[in-house]
């Protein structure tokens, strides 16, 4: 190890994650009119991670679409989110879902909405939450923890876990 340091970058390192995946946003056409349907798709390919992406139960990847008006406000009922990862119950006894992407494989999320007004933009994003399991765990523990010292430690750990998230991909496209 260089300089006697062990550096484990992994899922917490945005550049390393970006180097391991390929993201593509596609739309069925370039411009839309009121009444048209927009059909968009985010394709996330595990092109260089070398193992399932994300690897284990702690991280999650959130694919998100939403329509924004001319003032940058999200349109009601336009948000669609899909989680990629392996989720288990907090006691680790049951698997809730496993949507991880095997090496070389692709995961696609489709978004279809009707254009209800002019001046709309589509915002598509992918957010990585490296410490998702810890966030859920610390939140649950806070509900049952009584001592001030333990609660303070849990709040500190929860704050650190929440700040580890980063935007892997974000693109806004003018629709109408």
How would you class 175 by CB atoms within 10 Å of its CB: exposed for 0-12, middle for 13-18, buried for 19 or more? buried
Tokens of 66: 């939403």
pLDDT at 6 over 60: no
pLDDT for position 145: 87
Cβ pair 134, 60 in contact under 8 A: no
Which domains are present in the chain? 2-130+165-174 (2.60.40.3880)
The candidate with the shortest Cα–Cα distance to 113, out of 124, 103, 105, 104, is: 124
pLDDT for position 9: 74
pLDDT for position 48: 94
Q: Quick one: pLDDT band at residue 161, thresholds 50, 70, 90?
A: very high
Q: Which helix (H) or strand (E) holds 44?
A: strand 37-45
- pLDDT tens by residue, 29-81: 999 999 999 999 999 999 999 999 999 999 999 999 999 999 999 999 999 99
Q: Average pLDDT in the 15-42 region?
A: 96
Measured CA to CA, the distance from residue 48 to residue 120 in angstroms comes to 35
pLDDT for position 1: 45
Q: Average pLDDT in the 13-20 region?
A: 95
Whether the bond into 135 is cis, omega within 30 of 0: no
For 11-34, b/e burial (b = at least 16 CB within 10 A) is beeeeebeebbebebebeeeebee
- pLDDT tens by residue, 96-150: 999 999 999 999 999 999 999 999 999 999 999 999 999 999 999 999 988 999 9
- DSSP secondary-structure letter at 9? -
Residues 6+ apart with CB under 8 A from 164: 12, 129, 130, 131
pLDDT for position 7: 59
How many CB atoms sit inside 10 A of residue 59's CB?
Answer: 25
Cβ pair 101, 44 in contact under 8 A: yes
């Amino acid at each position: 190890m260089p300089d006697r340091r062990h550096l484990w970058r992994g899922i917490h390192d945005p550049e390393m994650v970006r180097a391991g995946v390929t993201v593509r946003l596609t739309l069925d056409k370039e411009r839309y009119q009121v009444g048209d349907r927009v059909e968009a798709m985010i394709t996330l390919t595990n092109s260089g991670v070398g193992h399932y992406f994300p690897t284990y139960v702690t991280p999650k990847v959130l694919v998100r679409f939403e329509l924004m008006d001319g003032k940058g406000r999200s349109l009601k009922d336009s948000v669609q989110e899909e989680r990629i990862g392996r989720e288990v119950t907090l006691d680790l006894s049951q698997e809730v879902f496993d949507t991880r992407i095997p090496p070389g494989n692709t995961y696609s999320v489709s978004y279809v909405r009707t254009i209800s007004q002019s001046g709309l933009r589509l915002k598509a994003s992918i957010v990585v939450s490296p410490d998702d399991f810890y966030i859920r765990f610390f939140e649950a523990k806070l509900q049952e923890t009584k001592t001030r010292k333990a609660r303070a430690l849990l709040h500190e750990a929860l704050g650190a876990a929440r700040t580890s998230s980063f935007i892997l991909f974000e693109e806004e496209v003018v629709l109408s």
